[in-house]
Amino acid sequence: MDRHPNGLSRSIFSLLMALLLSVGSHTVQAAEAAQAAPAHNPLIWADVPDIAVIRVGKTYYMSSTTMHMSPGLPIMKSTDLVNWSMASYAHQNLADNEAFRLENGKNAYGAGSWASSLRYHDGMFYASTFAATTGGRTHVYTTRDPERGPWKETSFEPLMNDHSLFFDDDGRVYMVWGCNRIMLTELKTDLTGTKPGGVNKPIIEHVNAVFGTDQGGLCGEGSQLSRINGRYYLFNIASPGSRWARTVIVSRADTLDGPYESRIALDDRGIAQGGLIDTPEGKWYAYLFKDNGAVGRIPYLVPVTWKDGWPVLGKDGKVPMTLDIPAGTQGGSGASGIVASDEFDRRPGEPDLPLAWQWNHNPEPRDWSLAKRPGYMSFTTSRTVPTLLEARNTLTQRTFGPRSSATTSIDVSGMKDGDWAGLAAFQRQYGFVGVKMSDGARSLVMVSAETDKPEEIASIPLSGKTVHLRVDCEFEPAPEIARFAYSLDGKTWTPIGRPSRLKYTFPHFMGYRFGLFYYSTKTAGGRVDFDYYRVGQETKDGH
């Protein structure tokens, strides 16, 4: 019998090699199949509204609205239009005033920075927004590196709502803005304000006129302007008077100041507001979003073809759920790049907080620390407030659909009478599981504010100094609810209270967020330490 030099018979060696090659081939085929699987809508099943998307070379960048959150005006990046990760924020604090500090009964819920514009011009990135809570101003942020920054701010009056910053080929710069009556306003070339004597005129008098006699409803807004093959294309949203449903309106003109011809480009399930983006290979898409209940407003990618110089959105007037673009690593929710677990361990040189975190309003720096107890997020209080909605330093991340969960562990040994700490499903009508300190005794509690008035649903004496907490959010199927549980060992979980209904409400105008919180109602100066935050896709049975 012939033998291979290592002592194996040639036939056995050949058989083993064939098996190895077969296994390797199947592994490669499986990886290629996973990579080639089609992407699906929604691309991100989480609150990412008012999106603006640009492409620089082979990299895409996207901005969105987070209003009263700090830091704000998030910038995300992608190499495939499908899988997005956090890149930076254009601002740390939009402003420092009583509303953003939750002082004297004021707040910025649903306000702050709204629909942004994102541009790239001559090596510079521009992210711009507007805000009524800064005295009615338009804000422009610039950087040459959207991942490392820094972003430089300039602001000016007036407030140009739902604007689209636009650099024309002749070097002049404009903003297209307004509601129903769309204005074209020329800016100074350094973007420090409007240009004296520059263009300032309406280019569309009445966006909703496209509906004929069925006018009214949502006024035409959300302007995004593009110049493609020598023509100008303006995207707006509006709705007819007979029903409230976001509809995409596209207007086009041969010159920037018009005249513009308008038509309805998409009327499907309220998926609307956004603009056009192309790939290096020449494919075209529209990036839009949909109001999707308590989880918030979620992005959809819509294929675009061109006919007679007009963009045609979707297939037969509908937004397809399966796309003609590879999924890559897109998971069940598509949110993996914008949410993150955190063990609160920091190596030298690492940022204090991963980009997935945002504070509810401006934080109070002296009341949080990662250094007081390494490996923990320590919270203290320096004032008293009546409820969670007025508390500063609530640390939040997006929830995501169809189901998601968050867990944490708290050392509550430093709490004072009247203190509350825990993990919330946070919106105006919030629910939470946590610990309260009253008359020298600690209790595990579940609280629901689904009627706008906080109600203690359950209370259990807590003898120990640490406890693990969990919130599970279910956004599909209806009804949308949050479930709450606790554990004394981090392994065995016990439900507490009852499910809390989740409802997208105003004025928050934001999808539910998981929130770590600590506040005092009687005496400031206490302390709690959060050991970790872990987020995951909750299964239907809650495991």
Which tens digits make up the pLDDT trace of 456-513?
999 999 999 999 999 999 999 999 999 999 999 999 999 999 999 999 998 999 999 9
Is residue 17 pLDDT above 60, yes or no? Answer: no
Q: Which pLDDT value is given to residue 537?
A: 82
Structure tokens, 234: 């303006």
Which tens digits make up the pLDDT trace of 57-69?
999 999 999 999 9
Last residue of a domain, one of 253, 273, 293: 273
- CATH at 486: 2.60.120.200
Both 230 and 131 in one domain: the answer is yes
CA atoms of 126 and 152, how far apart (whole Å): 10
For 53-119, give the DSSP string: EEEETTEEEEE---BTEESEEEEEEESSSS--EEEEEEES-S--STTTTT-TT---TT-SB-S-EEE
Last residue of a domain, one of 238, 273, 308: 273
CA atoms of 402 and 411, how far apart (whole Å): 31
- CATH at 215: 2.115.10.20
Both 242 and 377 in one domain: the answer is no
Residue 130 lies in a domain: yes
How close are the terminal C-alpha atoms of the chain, in Å? 57
Q: What is the mean pLDDT of residues 311-327?
A: 96
Most confident of 215-219, 329-333, 392-396: 392-396
Which tens digits make up the pLDDT trace of 353-381?
999 999 999 999 999 999 999 999 999 99
Residue 409 lies in a domain: yes
Q: Which pLDDT value is given to residue 216?
A: 87
**Full residue range of the structural domain in which residue 385 is found:** 358-536
